[in-house]
Amino acid sequence: MKIKLHNKAISEISSDIEIVLLDETAYKLHQDFKTLQAAGFEANDDNICLLHESKKLFVGLKSYSSKSLRSALTTAVKTLKKTNYKSAKINAVSHKNIAAMTEGVILGGYSFNEYKSSIKKNKFAQVNISSNNLDFVKLQKNFNDALITAKATNFTRDLVNTTPQDLNPKIFAQIAHDLAKENNFTCNILDEADLENESMNAMLAVGRASINKSHLIHVSYKPENPKYVISLVGKGLTYDSGGLSLKPATSMVTMKLDKSGGCAVLGILKAASELELDIEIHGFIGAVENMIGGDAYKPDDILTSRSGTTIEVRNTDAEGRLVLADVLSYAQEKVDSDYLFDFATLTGACMVALGQYTTGVMGHSNSLKHIISKAAKDSGELVGTLPFNEHLEKLLKSEIADISNVASKPYGGAITAALFLDKFIKDEYKNKWLHFDIAGSAYTETPWDCNSYGGTGAGVRLMLKFLTTISEEN
């Protein structure tokens, strides 16, 4: 899907059809009010009326908020993709909300057809936006930034949607290397010999039954005189069978999504470098495949992590936290950062707690969680915070090691998983670290908002909004 911003009135733009946005007030004053009313149109989100005679697609809005505009443009694009129109035009609403309109078009128009032998091509391919007498320089800056963010989100979606036979740990590392070269940042890859030298025994255990060897990917974007240094850690399980604690067959379908955290980290680095943010960003991805075999790690094994903490394995399907334990340890030692965030499809329990649309945010700093919540709202992503407490922490106690990789009771599973990770966060990082559980928000089999089937790119828009906000406030 293409989108173009024009420094001209909408009447001067040539397109097959015009998209008209109407809230309740504009609807009642519109010259086609009676026709629209007869057609059952309502000025509400996701409500549409296509009048072919006048070549207009009317889209309802609850308000002209970013949320409603993003949803409205997504609805418009999905509707027009089913027609024979080739292009549409629309007026920009405001400098601020041009981002939401751009994202609605690019994200709403996304589809993944890599594995289809025959693709029915849509004729509809372009949306033209009129500047509508707004300051074009300011409008174009916001438009271009939003376009970079949206394309990075779709890049992340493509990676998530790629199947495990086409994206294993080695290929993941190659993708990171190629992206770094293309976007002029650095990439360092650790293979299994390097991981052994780093004593990353928890991460190595998870991947040792797979024919696809594990890799740690470290990508770095380093502008001159950065205002902040940020470390992002991503869970990169290119496939998760559950190991010897084998998942049910139905649960193994879609497990390509278990690399979503690592994919988000690459998407964030891609956009940050293209936006030329004045923030140094390090991305660390534990790229691993959790399989079964004679060499598989087992329940009852005791693993010695990179930090020296010993871990009793009670469930091999709680593998992501084992990988992250070592990668978090590595990231804290290699980079002195102002913030440390990890992204992982870590627990089904997070979906139980918050639903499939919302990312769970956990950590010690309430002020940092508040900043993230504000960034999430502005970005269009949904987050909910889950609280730590000492009683849940006690459930991770092991009688024969320093900690167990699963809690002794099944309740509060998203929180106990985060508390496990907390065991590997150094004291000086406690208030600079947040854990993002994207198990529900990273992938969907039912389209919602601007998300189609498959990967959503969860975390990318959120983190870019956070990064641009702290950059502008400094």
**Residue type for 44, please?**
N
Helix 460-473 × helix 136-161 angle, to 10°: 140
The bridge status of strand 56-60 relative to strand 17-22 is: parallel
Neighbour count for residue 434 (Cβ, 10 Å) = 21
Q: Which of 157, 235, 321, 461 is catalytic?
A: 321
Give the alpha-carbon dihedral of 387, 461, 317, 283, to 10 degrees. Answer: -100
* Torsion-angle region of 373 (φ positive above 0: left; ψ -120 to 50: alpha; else: beta): alpha
Q: Count of alpha carbons within 13 Å of 467, Cβ hemisphere only?
A: 29
Closest by Cα among 62, 61, 56, 64 to 80:
56
222 an active-site residue? Answer: no
Q: Which of 56, 62, 78, 247 is catalytic?
A: 247
d(CA 66, CA 313) in angstroms, rounded, equals: 45
- Phi and psi dihedrals of 82, rounded to 5? -90, 0
Can you read off the two tokens belonging to residue 156? 């992340």
For the four alpha carbons of 256, 262, 266 and 271, in that order, the dihedral sign comes to positive
d(CA 316, CA 331) in angstroms, rounded, equals: 24
Answer whether 283's CB lies under 8 Å from 219's CB. yes
Instruction: Mention every residue, 6+ apart, whose C-beta is less than 8 A from residue 55.
Output: 16, 17, 18
Neighbour count for residue 458 (Cβ, 10 Å) = 33
Answer whether 426's CB lies under 8 Å from 333's CB. no
d(CA 237, CA 372) in angstroms, rounded, equals: 25
Neighbour count for residue 293 (Cβ, 10 Å) = 11
Answer whether 454's CB lies under 8 Å from 360's CB. no
Closest by Cα among 416, 347, 410 to 388:
416
247 an active-site residue? Answer: yes
Q: Which residues are catalytic?
A: 247, 321
